[in-house]
A and B are shown apart, each in its own frame.
Chain A
């Protein structure tokens, strides 16, 4: 008998005989918060920044003013071609290691934890949101939801190879509980909240 068969057999024999019904998640969805305000305050609280913009030109100007445009800036959005390179998505992912800033778009954001949902079709490459020194993510204000339950309602049966929630910059407190931003991933996260 293979290990699979013997494990499954033992589990079948030992698991509780009475099946227990699945819980109803609907009552957890109730909410009366101001989604945009909560999103902003939670993001600030976990070390992220936001900028409210009404078009891509404002994003271009912000990047020009706040980042060194001589360094490598990449994006998946053609609207940003003036400040960022678009021709990298087929490259060896290791070659992205000198990226200063990556700008991508998220499907939506979650107010209760400021997480942004992004999948590989929006990332260009899976490593793209982890390897740059700084990360900027655009999300429409109309694409903010209240809680994680609404988030998964929205994801539904979405097909992706890889998807991730990103909440704030990469961080660690492993040295005596002192918070340090920029552990292995981005040192800073700017969220562009688009009208």
Chain B
């Protein structure tokens, strides 16, 4: 994926917006998920206290993460788990490959792991001649289509059932034109059941790792992580080091928040706690850094490491809903992805913090209270300072600064603008003006606020004084 040319977010969003009906559908579908989240949250009177508590636990984790990691490794090893450490994506991929090679395994089943997306593990293993099948239904669909997931919780949310029907017809031989989700899911169930029964290795993600006990928790609705792990000889679990929580009892806080924030469910169907390997089998944990320790050192951005990957910020984001996950060219899309991505590659991801209206809805729904929209704003400043923004934008901003700093210039600019919009609409309502994309320009007011205030300000003030 890295080798492919990255299309900037705004350009990708423009392409996504070509099909108006589909964009509206995408927008509404995600808003529907956001509404489910709201209904679920409102049923918990202590919801805000729960968010605050989760936030505090995560802040505690970040401030002690060195010791928690050492504690977790010691306890996991006591439980018979083999622990690996990977400084970056490449080392992560090499470790996974070496485990498979040791067991002479050529095929692996995988449940959802955004970390392996971040590391491009599937591509790496394919090059080594190892076949990986993604078993989460949404991931399975996008994998068959040779696409990345467009959402961390709902990987195929950008597709309609007609698309899935076509994909399954081509790859699984389902009836052409049968778009019944029940029928399509059943077909995938049959195909993947065979996969689960024949794979010797299963890879899963990790939702939470408990320092106190050395166990890790994996949450799914489908049961695919468990079907893979409990039938395989080797279970590999990959985690970014920020997945750590201090004690078992803290799981109670996060399991209450995760599914409610993600899809509005009270909890995922399965919340599986893996502590020891099955008798005679192997469990490996790969703890990955890949830029996280650097983000930890960026004081203004370190709180992004509190993220529990629920996707609530994506479902609520007006930009994500109308631009689609793929426009973010990063394993994690949406608002949270836009504050994580610049840390990984500032040049490649310089466009992402600008893919936001800074409306703050993401911050309001975040279950661990990450100040997402503030961080988006702060990233913009860093990126401009470091020279990663387009020069046209810099010039425009400098011009704007001059205009805003000088009342006389501001006045003239306003008058000129109003005159042009009224008498020469073609000058602004054209393709060159990005603000005109997808929207009409507003009606031109007769006068500026300043002009109005000069006439009426005193009179209003006087009236107030009389009262």
Contacts and interface: CB of A to CB of B under 8 A. Distances in A.
Given A112-B256, A167-B266, A160 B65 contact: no
Contacts of B52: 23
A116 B189 CA distance: 24
Which of A6, A13, A175 has most B Cβ within 10 Å? Answer: A175
Contacts of B249: 25, 149, 152-153
Interface in B33-63: 33, 44, 46, 49-50, 52-53, 56-57, 59-60, 62-63
B87 A7 contact: yes
Contact of A22 (B60, B161, B241): B60
A174 B263 CA distance: 12
Given A148-B252, A151-B252, A180 B296 contact: no
Nearest to B79: A161
Interface residues of A, number: 71
Interface in B57-114: 57, 59-60, 62-66, 69-70, 85-87, 91
B54 to A, nearest CB: 8
Nearest to B223: A185
A95 to B, nearest CB: 10
Contact of B227 (A114, A131, A177): A131
Contacts of A45: 266
B316 interface: no
A15 interface: yes
Main secondary structure of the interface of B (DSSP, over half): helix
A115 B253 CA distance: 15
A161 B29 contact: no
Interface string B242-272: 0000101111110110000001011111111
A177 B263 CA distance: 10
B248 A176 contact: no
Given A7-B87, A8-B66, A185 B57 contact: no
B189 A184 contact: yes
Contact of A11 (B268, B277, B296): B296
Nearest to B135: A184
Contacts of B418: none
A161 B278 CA distance: 8
A63 interface: no
B49 A25 contact: no
B266 A46 contact: yes
A21 B181 CA distance: 48
Interface string B265-290: 11111111111111000000001010
14 contacts: A7-B293, A15-B66, A20-B60, A20-B62, A23-B57, A130-B227, A130-B230, A152-B252, A162-B272, A164-B270, A170-B222, A170-B269, A176-B159, A180-B185
Interface of A: 2-4, 6-8, 10-16, 18-25, 27-28, 30, 42, 45-46, 93-94, 97, 112-115, 125-127, 130-131, 147-149, 151-153, 155, 160-178, 180, 182-186
Interface of B: 29, 32-33, 44, 46, 49-50, 52-53, 56-57, 59-60, 62-66, 69-70, 85-87, 91, 135-138, 141, 154-157, 159-161, 164, 181-182, 184-186, 189, 192-193, 196-197, 221-224, 226-227, 230-231, 241, 246, 248-253, 255-256, 263, 265-278, 287, 289, 293-294, 296-297, 299, 302
